[in-house]
Amino acid sequence: MLDLSHPTMQTVISLVAIGLAAWILYRIITPREGFAKEFVDNSNEEKTEKTRASSYKQETNSFKPTLPPPEPIPGILTPYRVNMFQSYVPA
């Protein structure tokens, strides 16, 4: 029978455990498949180049106010705003 309490056997078991842990770590860290550049989406880079000089240009989420402007709610004006509208506390 194997004597697992012997120092040499403990060293062998420790080395096998360290080797197994290193192999598992290597398999987890290394990628499974190669990198293919043709699958990368570069559409945002074109938009970035167009707005490089000025990033404040609005292309989406722009809001045009309605005509005539809505009447304010009767109440006390607060210093807060929601988009283009002032905030009022009902009185």
Q: How far apart are CA 30 and CA 39, in angstroms?
A: 20
Contact 47, 40 (CB under 8 A): no
pLDDT at 77: 86
Give pLDDT, residue 44: 79
pLDDT along the chain (91 residues), means of 10: 78 95 92 76 79 65 68 82 82 76
Q: How far apart are CA 6 and CA 30, in angstroms?
A: 36
Distance CA 91, CA 78 (A): 12
Distance between CA 73 and CA 69 in Å, rounded? 12
pLDDT at residue number 54 = 67
Closest CA relative to residue 20, chosen from 8, 30, 28: 28
3-state secondary structure of 47: helix
In one-letter notation, the amino acid at residue 6 is H
